[in-house]
Structures are given as C-alpha cells and as structure tokens.
Amino acid sequence: MAYVKIINDTPTLYNLRDLRRDNPQVSFPAEPSDERLAEWDIYPLAEGAKPAPERWQRVVKGPVEQVAGVWTQTYVTEDRPATAEGVKAEAYRRIVAVIPEWKQRNLTAQATQLLHKGTANWTPEDQAAWDAGNAIWGQVAAIRAASDQIEAMDPIPTDFMDDSYWP
C-alpha cells in the first residue's frame, strides 16, 4: 500500500519501509493501523481517476491532493512531444487503416499484371480494378502529402494526430 507523509505541510510519497528506516528506535507492528500511522503524519494514499487522453496526449501522475478528505494521487494529461517520427507513425497508421500492407502487396501485383497485359487488352473488369486501385493509391498519396506538410511545420503541433490535419 502507498502512503503519504506530511513534511513541512507538503505531502510526500512514503512507505512503511521508510517509516521503519526513519525511526529505528520504534517498534511498529507489521501492518500498523491507519490511526497509528496518522500519529506520525502518515496517511493512506488513494488512486485518483485517470483522465481519458486524446491520442496525442499521455496520462502522467499529477500532484498528491486531498480529495474529499482523502489523500489522493491525481493524474493529468500532457501532450506527447511532437516529432517528425511521430508524424510518420501517424501517417503509417492512417495508411494501413485505408489499405493494410497485405492488400497493398496484392494491389501492386494486380497493377503489374494489368500493365503487363497492356491497356489495349483490358476488359471492363480490368479497367474497374485499375480505377479502384488508383482511388486507393490517391488516398494514400493524400495522407503522405499531409504528413509532409505537418513535418515541415515549425514547430510541429502537439495535436498533429487530430483529424483536422489529415484528409
């Protein structure tokens, strides 16, 4: 169990090992009661609710505060650092949502076969397959172009994962 000790009016994370180390002359029971610990300004620490972060945020520990009379470890969100690598990873995530890698390979193989066949020999089904593939690659190209634009921003916005930046 986690505890908090009040030192100079400031809550500090604490545990029973710290209590025994700081007070070697005192014999404490294996599991001291909350009342006994309070005599030493030590109180149980409750876990607070964790906020729901946006995709570009992470949850981190906030300050220890009293919530409804209980010492509580609070949590807050903070923006993840915005990097070109993060933008590329977001672009990749969006691309494979449009067309997973295995489908990309199949589409590339299909395009190769159609080109080898020659456009003059295409059936209406071949043309439809070509057009469908081009439409998908158009979506991929738009995502890549958005990624390039975001990466060129200085600074890169911390919320670059927001849909407003992407097609």
Q: Tokens standing for 101?
A: 């890698």
Q: Percent of the chain having pLDDT more than 90?
A: 93
Cα-to-chain-centroid distance, residue 110: 36
CA distance 63 to 52: 17
pLDDT in tens, 11-21: 999 999 999 99
Residue type, 3: Y
CA distance 39 to 9: 15
pTM of the full structure: 0.63
Spans of all domains in the chain: 3-79, 84-165
pLDDT in tens, 114-166: 999 999 999 999 999 999 999 999 999 999 999 999 999 999 999 999 999 99
Measure Cα distances from 160 to 105, 106, 141, 151 in Å.
28, 31, 18, 9
Tell me the mean pLDDT in the region 106-121: 96
pLDDT at 56: 82
pLDDT at 55: 83
